[in-house]
């Protein structure tokens, strides 16, 4: 039987016969003999195939059912943030030499990719005020979980404390990573003492509700107990406030999405991971170093690879051995385009616009701000009605509201304001909230 050619199955019949001969079987069916016959071709309830034109129209119709942040005002944050991405970013990352999301295992042949990764590490260290960084993790939550495991390896302790203001989603990921290792996980208040044999104290900065914790006091609490201070940071906030490294943090992770990566309905994102140089050998993930070749030219190499699972699985610090090269490039382009002052301006705009919104909402009858303190671009609001009802009413007005945090505060909503929100949008939100309260 001749198999028809399609762009998705490019091998000819002759190609297939040559491959089958090379592995010593007569037909493709022979490869599936170990599978019971009753399970080899189960019936599939699939619709009839579509042409490319029909498929495109169907996908466009499905996509049109979504409401994304570019279609109108959005005040939703909680870990994924709507920031402006300069057009130059897409232009550069679309170049052919950058079209890979992965680092090859013969990485030294890809000097350009390694140079970009080295720049990512350098910029991450500068931004978070830390000494060393790796080539990127999958996203912020798993980067934080890897930090908890690393702290246990460094201290030889197997308890992890976290501030009760840590993101619930991050907390769940940390629990998923630590549970198989038998590592105890427990919450602490701002001035609680740590339990004996605690490996680290995890603090989110700003915290899940957008407010800044006193890292100086929390760092002293951790270090006095012989534990490490692990910080999950907002990288944009680090351009405005004192970076975690300035407080003596031992390990700092971050979600890199705010640095030039579109929201994309939740991914792909990139986790940033840094630590003090004394803990370098326990750091998970890939690390790119810079050296010179035999002719004295600058060269980039993967370094300390014996920590990685593809080299020495039984001694690996983690089973991650990737680097998110394409997303890392997006971060590098964004930071290089904005520069130090540009990133600070983004942070300042978010800070001032969020405080303007909070000042107006706090004056509305039935609304109040339950948390006092310094916040960045997010803040909590207690509403006169359940947030799900308020968000539904806001959406009817073309506005995406905030995150329902009623489990933390009665009728609580977490609102986020970035440089993308205009004064008119903020005032439309406030007007909408006032109208909804009176309905």
**Domain spans in the chain, listed from the N-terminal domain onward:** 73-83+340-437, 88-332
The 10s digit of each residue's pLDDT in 258-306 is 999 999 988 899 999 999 999 999 999 889 999 999 999 999 988 887 6
Model pTM?
Answer: 0.88
Judged by average pLDDT, the poorest of 5-9, 140-144, 417-421 is: 5-9
CATH top-level class of 73-83+340-437 = alpha beta
User: How far is it, in rounded angstroms, from Cα 268 to Cα 139?
Assistant: 8
Owner of token pair 């890979």: 100
Q: pLDDT by residue (tens digit) across 185-236?
A: 999 998 899 999 999 999 999 999 999 999 999 999 999 999 999 999 999 9
CATH number, domain 88-332, options 3.20.10.10, 3.30.1490.190, 3.40.50.2000, 3.40.640.10: 3.40.640.10
Cα Rg, the chain, nearest whole Å? 25
Which residues, 6+ apart, have CB-to-CB distance to 364 below 8 Å? Answer: 430, 433, 434, 437
Per-residue pLDDT reduced to its tens digit, 317-371: 787 766 688 899 999 999 999 999 999 999 999 999 999 999 999 999 999 999 9
Tell me if 146 sits within 8 A of 286, measured CB to CB.
no
Distances (CA, A) of 391 to 18, 216, 415: 61, 37, 11
- Closest by CA position to 286, among listed 254, 321, 256: 321
Burial class (CB in 10 A: 0-12, 13-18, 19+), 151: buried
Q: Residue holding tokens 């004056």?
A: 363
Peptide bond into 272 cis (omega under 30): no
């Amino acid at each position: 039987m001749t198999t028809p050619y399609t762009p998705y199955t490019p091998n000819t019949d002759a190609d297939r016969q040559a491959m089958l001969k090379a592995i010593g079987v007569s037909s493709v069916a022979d490869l599936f003999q170990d599978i019971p016959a009753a399970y080899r071709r189960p019936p599939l309830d699939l619709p009839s195939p579509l042409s490319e034109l029909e498929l495109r129209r169907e996908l466009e119709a499905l996509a049109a059912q979504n409401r994304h942040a570019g279609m109108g005002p959005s005040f939703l944050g909680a870990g994924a943030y709507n920031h402006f991405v300069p057009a130059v970013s897409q232009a550069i990352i679309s170049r052919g030499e950058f079209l890979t999301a992965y680092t090859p295992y013969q990485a030294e042949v890809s000097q350009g990719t390694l140079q970009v990764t080295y720049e990512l590490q350098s910029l991450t260290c500068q931004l978070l005020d830390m000494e060393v960084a790796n080539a990127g993790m999958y996203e912020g939550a798993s980067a934080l979980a890897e930090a908890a495991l690393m702290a246990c390896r460094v201290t030889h302790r197997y308890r992890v404390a976290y501030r009760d203001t840590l993101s619930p989603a991050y907390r769940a990921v940390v629990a998923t990573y630590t549970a198989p290792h038998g590592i105890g996980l427990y919450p602490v208040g701002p001035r609680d003492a740590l339990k004996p044999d605690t490996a680290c104290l995890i603090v989110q900065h700003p915290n899940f509700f957008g407010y800044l914790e006193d890292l100086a006091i929390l760092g002293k609490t951790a270090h006095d107990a012989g534990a490490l201070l692990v910080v999950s940071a907002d990288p944009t906030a680090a351009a405005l406030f004192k970076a975690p490294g300035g407080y003596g943090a031992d390990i700092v992770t971050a979600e890199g999405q705010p640095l030039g990566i579109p929201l994309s309905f939740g991914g792909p994102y990139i986790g940033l991971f840094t630590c003090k140089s004394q803990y370098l050998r326990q750091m998970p993930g890939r690390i790119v170093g810079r050296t010179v070749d035999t002719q004295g030219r600058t060269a980039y190499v993967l370094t300390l690879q014996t920590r990685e699972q593809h080299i020495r699985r039984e001694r690996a610090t983690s089973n991650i051995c990737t680097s998110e090269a394409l997303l890392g490039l997006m971060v590098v382009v964004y930071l290089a385009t904005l520069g130090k002052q540009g990133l600070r301006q983004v942070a300042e705009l978010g800070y001032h616009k969020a405080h303007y919104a909070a000042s107006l909402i706090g004056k509305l009858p039935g609304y109040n701000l339950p948390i006092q303190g310094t916040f960045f671009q997010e803040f909590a609001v207690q509403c006169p009605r359940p947030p799900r009802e308020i968000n539904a009413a806001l959406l009817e007005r073309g506005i995406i509201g905030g995150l329902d945090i009623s489990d933390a505060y009665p009728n609580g909503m977490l609102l986020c304001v970035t440089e993308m929100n205009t004064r008119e949008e903020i005032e439309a939100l406030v007007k909408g909230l006032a109208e909804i309260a009176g309905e």
